[in-house]
Amino acid sequence: MADLSFLKNIPLTELHTHLGFSVSPTMLWELAHEQGLKLPTKDYWEFEKLITIYDQKDYEEYLQLYDLTEKIQSSPEALFTAIQVAISGAYRKNNITKLELRFNPILRARGGERDLDHIIVFTLQGMERAMLKYPVKAGVILMMDRRFTEHENAAIVKKAIKYKYRGVVGVDLAGPIKRTENSQGFKPKQIAHLIKQAKEAGLGVTVHTGEATNVAEMWEVIEELKPNRIGHGIACVEDEKLMKHLTTKYIVLETCPTSNLHTKLVKNFDEMRHMYSTLKQHNVPFTINTDGPEMQRISLRGEFEKLLDNQILTVEDILKANKIATEASFIRYTGR
Ligand SMILES: [Zn+2]
């Protein structure tokens, strides 16, 4: 096992983690019961298996894991607690002192039954409260979804702008690709005007692309949306020109190594080694993230260990990735 003593006294930054996947099964179980939610099982261990990943899954199947955690987090009170435990856990377990957490408020509104402002304000207050307990600077990224109508995505951006001085630091786009007609027909161009509004308001922009989607979509995202960062973006290793573009424009990749193994988008450590060495060769700025530590059953430090043990990255690479993450964080945008 790699020696992680080089991380002693190094504050860590994590940019890409989903709130839905950052709360422990125990806490989600508690939150579900506090709300009197009917769960698909009465057995805790079965429940744990439903919301954590044990084997590799197809991408679409993997995203279904979100459905239940989103349901459990669908109340202002649940989010108030969920974000606190996500932030305090990140600090205690990993010494993460800068943390961006992302979530989709509409997917936590029980089909419009819950008020979005309540959902967001309680989340931001939970975040503030965690920051009173631990020396962490945290920020929230509100996510649009490929399945949403334009109207719904516009509502997300509107709320992100409304709460930008209160802890929302950026916007993102995510969601299944094949699940619905909307998601199948989704083109990044459709949200270009929304991204523009977010940028003009001073918010950071990141987009999930080049994960389960191809290089062609990555190009479209870069040209139409001009994001500051890209969620995953690993498909770029197939395209020299694209890597060059990412480097010159300094578009930072938020890579999530174990997540890519879990979704079979990266087959094994050999493929992963090749991927990171290609990124390094072309000087593409990248960061290391968990994508959601509790659901993946990993930690950021554990990811570093895994990358070192499998000779995928060196100590210098890891320190560099952490430095890039700290500097590329959207938290600076709103002066927090
Ligand atoms: Zn993600």
pLDDT in tens, 128-150: 999 999 999 999 999 999 999 99
- Give tens-digit pLDDT for 62-120: 778 788 999 999 999 999 999 999 999 999 999 999 999 999 999 999 999 999 999 99
> What pTM does this model have?
0.95
Report the mean per-residue pLDDT for the chain.
94
pLDDT band at 44 (very low <50, low <70, confident <90, very high): very high
Query: Residue 142 Cα, ligand 1 centroid: separation in angstroms?
Result: 12
Q: Where is average pLDDT lowest: 61-65, 86-90, 273-277, 311-315? A: 61-65
% of the chain with per-residue pLDDT over 70: 99
Residues lining ion ligand 1 (Cβ < 5 A) are 291
- Compute the distance between CA of residue 228 and CA of residue 203 in angstroms, rounded to an integer: 10
- Cα(170) to ligand 1 centroid in Å equals 14
Residue pair 296/290 in contact by the 8 Å Cβ criterion: yes
CATH of domain 8-328: 3.20.20.140
Ligand 1 centre distance from Cα of residue 209 (Å): 10
**Cα R_g (the chain), whole angstroms:** 18
Q: Given this model, what pLDDT does residue 333 score?
A: 57
Over residues 310-335, mean pLDDT: 91
Question: Separation of 264 CA from ligand 1 center, angstroms?
Answer: 15
Pick 60 or 219 by higher pLDDT.
219
Q: Report the alpha-carbon distance of residue 144 to residue 172 in Å, rounded.
A: 6
18 Cα to the center of ligand 1, angstroms: 6
73 CA from centroid of ligand 1 (Å): 17
Give the domain ranges of the chain: 8-328
CA distance 63 to 67: 8
263 vs 87, residue with greater confidence: 87
How many helices (H) and strands (E) the chain has is answered by: 15, 8
pLDDT above 90 for 152:
yes
From ligand 1's centre to the CA of 290, what distance in Å? 9
pLDDT at 64: 80
Asked if 123 and 151 touch (Cβ cutoff 8 Å), the reply is no
Position 56: which residue type?
Answer: Q
Q: How far is the CA of 288 from the centre of ligand 1 (A)?
A: 12
